[in-house]
Amino acid sequence: MGPVNWHTFFFYLYALVACGFGVAVVISTNIVRMAMYLIVSLGATAGLFFLAGADFVGAMQLMIYVGGTLVLLIFGVMLTAQGPLISLRTSGGDWIVAMLLAGCLGALLIPAGLTVKSWNTGRPDVKEEVAQSGAQAVLVSADQKPPVPTAGDMPDVNEDGIPDKQPITAAPLGLGLLGARVDKLENVPAALRPGMSGYLLPFEVISVHLLVVLVGAAYLARSKRRAGNRS
Partner 1 sequence: MAEALANYVWPWLAYLLVGVLQAGLLLIVPLVGAMFFVWIERKVSARIQDRLGPTRCGGKFGWLQLLADGLKLITKEDLRPADADAVLFRVAPYISLCASFAALLALPFSNGWVAQELDVGVFFILAVVGLEVFGVILAGYASASKWSLFGAMREAAQVVSYEVPLGMCVVVPVMIAGTMNLVTIGQLQAGLFTNWFIFHDPFTFITFWVYFTCATASVNRAPFDLAEAESELVAGFHTEYSGFRWLSFFMAEYGSMFAVSGLAAILFFGGWNGPIPVASLLGLTPEHGPVLGWIGNLLGLLNFVLKCIFGVTFMVWVRWTLPRLRIDQVMQVCLKYCTPIAAVMFLGATIWTFLLPGGGGLRSMPYAQRYVLNAPAVEAKPQAPAAKNVAIDSGSAVNDVTAVSRTAPGGE
CB of 144 to partner 1, least distance (A): 16
Residue 103 touching partner 1 (CB under 8 A): no
Q: How many residues bind partner 1 (CB under 8 A)?
A: 59
Residue 76 touching partner 1 (CB under 8 A): no
CA dist 207 and 199 (Å) reads 12
Residue 195 touching partner 1 (CB under 8 A): yes
Stretch that binds partner 1, among 19-27, 66-74, 91-99, 101-109 (CB under 8 A): 66-74
Question: What is the number of helices (H) and of strands (E) in the chain?
Answer: 9, 0
Tell me the CA distances in angstroms from 198 to 141, 172, 175, 202, one per residue in order. Answer: 26, 10, 8, 9
Tell which one of 26, 74, 85, 104 touches partner 1 (CB under 8 A): 74
Q: Is 198 left (phi over 0), alpha (psi -120 to 50) or beta?
A: left
Tell which one of 16, 19, 33, 212 touches partner 1 (CB under 8 A): 33
Nearer to partner 1, 15 or 203 (CB): 203
Among 27, 64, 74, CA closest to 42: 64
DSSP lists the bridge partners of residue 157 as 163
CA dist 176 and 186 (Å) reads 15
Tell which one of 20, 67, 106, 202 touches partner 1 (CB under 8 A): 67
Residue 11 touching partner 1 (CB under 8 A): no
Nearer to partner 1, 148 or 220 (CB): 148
DSSP lists the bridge partners of residue 30 as 87
Contact between 31 and 77 under an 8 Å Cβ cutoff? The reply is yes
Tell which one of 15, 17, 24, 134 touches partner 1 (CB under 8 A): 134
**Considering only residues 113-132, where is the footprint of partner 1 by CB under 8 A?**
131-132
DSSP lists the bridge partners of residue 163 as 157
**Considering only residues 165-184, where is the footprint of partner 1 by CB under 8 A?**
166-172, 175, 178-183
Q: How many CB atoms lie within 10 A of CB 102?
A: 11
Q: How many CB atoms lie within 10 A of CB 8?
A: 12
Nearer to partner 1, 125 or 160 (CB): 160
Tell which one of 25, 72, 142, 196 touches partner 1 (CB under 8 A): 196
Contact between 28 and 37 under an 8 Å Cβ cutoff? The reply is yes
Name 136's Cβ contacts closer than 8 Å, sequence gap at least 6.
Answer: 129, 130, 168, 183
- Please report, as ranges, the residues that interact with partner 1 according to CB under 8 A: 1, 3-4, 6, 30, 32-33, 36, 39, 55-56, 58-59, 62-63, 66-67, 70-71, 73-74, 78-79, 131-132, 134, 148-152, 154, 160-162, 166-172, 175, 178-183, 185-186, 190, 193-198, 200
